[in-house]
Amino acid sequence: MNPTDLLSAMKRTVEQVAAFNELAKALTSTLDVHQVLQLVMQKVSELLRPTNWSLLLFDEKTGELYFEIAVGARAERLKSARLLPGEGIAGAVFQSGEPRRVDDVRSDPAFAGRFDEVSAFETRSVMAVPLRVRGRSLGVIELVNGPEVPPFTDEDLQTLQGIAEFAAIAIDNARNFQAVQELTISDEHTGLFNARHLRALLEDEVERADRFGHPLSLIFLDLDHFKQVNDTWGHLVGSALLREVGELLSACIRGVDSAFRYGGDEFAVLLIETDAQSARAVAERIRDRFRATTFHGGRGLKIRVTASIGYASMPDHARSPTALLEAADRAMYQVKAHGRDGVAGATA
């Protein structure tokens, strides 16, 4: 190797080591999956400068690979595409767990399947490496160069493998953290958020509503005579009915709002930027949905359950998280004291 080539190789090695150190520090500083993927995208583009590239993740529910990231010309075509393990170069790399580099895809038999993951591009050279951690594959990083760019080299493949090793660990850690977070904020019986998350979210939303002068409303509801369900059909049916209630509440609110199981047969709904009049409309919609619903309790039963519903709004009825919660709770008990199956608003 002549001195010029040696100097160029040394310079590239130093750049790669520095980039890997930077990537490692960045990836260990976050447990957010989206931030991890953004960092991976940035480093792939900086170090390898592919014409197009993609990051595929494995969907355990469907048994397919999907394109979490697709970068480059006509990448939109790939976002809805799916690959089976073993299909195309990416599928083959995922299935085997071994990296692969192809100088010219026109002569490669892997592209004879029903779908070419690089057919959206003018493609010549491809390389793909698995995202592997603890003996299992999470997905694949695949890079594509067009005919106007020299084919990928062995050094490029080694660089991509280094990025993939960091990325797989970071993605796995972020997913595990997300799973733990979901367990700590979710109610296991209904799938709704739990009371702990309600209190935390209420603190943030009250502060935000106060800062920007926006209204905020909270609905509190209690199932009427729910004890009779448990006494008549047992606690398994009662738990199944609670799940159905969670589905009912989720169907009655907007995507920006949140529903919670507060405890037992008590539920809450947090309505963002919603005043008292609109909160009443939502509460009445929930009441009417209960009246119209036949619950099955997981056994095909025909159970009718109503709810006593109270609501309170900020700033009309309260100015703090605790006061808002207590105001909605008092309104709910007004309904219970006057026959149940109704809606009442808090008083100032």
Query: Could you give the residue numbers annotated as active site?
Result: 265
Separation of alpha carbons 57 and 171, rounded Å: 10
Contact 83, 64 (CB under 8 A): yes
65 forms bridges with which residues in the sheet? 58, 83
Pairing of strands 136-145, 52-59: antiparallel
Three-state SS at 94: helix
1 burial type by CB count under 10 A (0-12 exposed, 13-18 middle, 19+ buried) = exposed
Contact 307, 343 (CB under 8 A): no
216 burial type by CB count under 10 A (0-12 exposed, 13-18 middle, 19+ buried) = buried
CA angle 65, 71, 75 (to 5 degrees): 75
Sign of CA dihedral 285, 289, 290, 292: positive
Separation of alpha carbons 314 and 215, rounded Å: 5
